[in-house]
Amino acid sequence: MTEVAFHFNVPQLLPYACRLLRKATQTQARVTVVAPEAELCSLDAQLWTFEADTFLAHCLWDAPAHVLAASPVVLACAESLAVSPHREVLVHWGNAQPPAGFESYNRLIELVSHDEEDRARARGRWKHYADRGYPMSRYDVSKVRV
């Protein structure tokens, strides 16, 4: 069963996502990120430049199949999530609904900012997962550093 972790009180989603993805790939995790397309484009650009001496290998959902398979991180919008070959970790933010097919992943990480609208949407997703019996954990990012 998919383990669901909520990382809440994230002050800046893009830098946090970059650090989280760096940490995940250092442990050889294969990650899919699902978010609205505008956020994915920003994350794509940020992954090239967030550290001067580091590149985090990744690709967008529309890359050729062999590139998708070789990339440790795949960036996908909700409509294209199924193209990712990875089923280990799914990172999700920015959408009101749980990502379709999340249950095929070992782990789901929900990123939640300080924004009250974002927090309200996250509460709805929390209820969705809890009502279905998924194992849940929560991490207050304001108290922990990734």
Provide the sign of the torsion angle of the four alpha carbons 103, 22, 121, 83, taken in this order: negative
**If DSSP states are collapsed to H, E and C, what string results for 74-102?**
EEECHHHHHHCCCCCEEEECCCCCCCCCH
pLDDT value at residue 145: 60
Q: One digit per residue, pLDDT tens: the chain, 146 residues?
A: 999 999 999 999 999 999 999 999 999 999 999 999 999 999 999 998 888 777 899 999 999 999 999 999 999 999 999 999 999 999 999 888 999 999 999 999 999 999 999 999 999 999 999 999 999 999 999 886 65
What residues does 89 pair with on adjacent strands?
A: 31, 107
pLDDT value at residue 53: 79
Per residue in 29-53, pLDDT (tens digit) is 999 999 999 999 999 999 988 887 7
pLDDT value at residue 18: 95
- Ranges of H-type helices in 56-115: 65-70
- Ranges of H-type helices in the chain: 13-26, 37-49, 65-70, 116-131
Joined together, the tokens standing for residue 24 give 């995940």
| Total count of residues recorded for the chain | 146
User: What is the torsion angle, in degrees rounded to the nearest 10, for the CA atoms of residue 16, residue 17, residue 21 and residue 22?
Assistant: -40
pLDDT value at residue 143: 84
Assigned CATH topology for domain 3-143: Rossmann fold (3.40.50)
Q: How far is CA 39 from the centre of its chain?
A: 11
Give the domain ranges of the chain.
3-143
pLDDT value at residue 94: 87
pLDDT value at residue 66: 96
pLDDT value at residue 49: 86
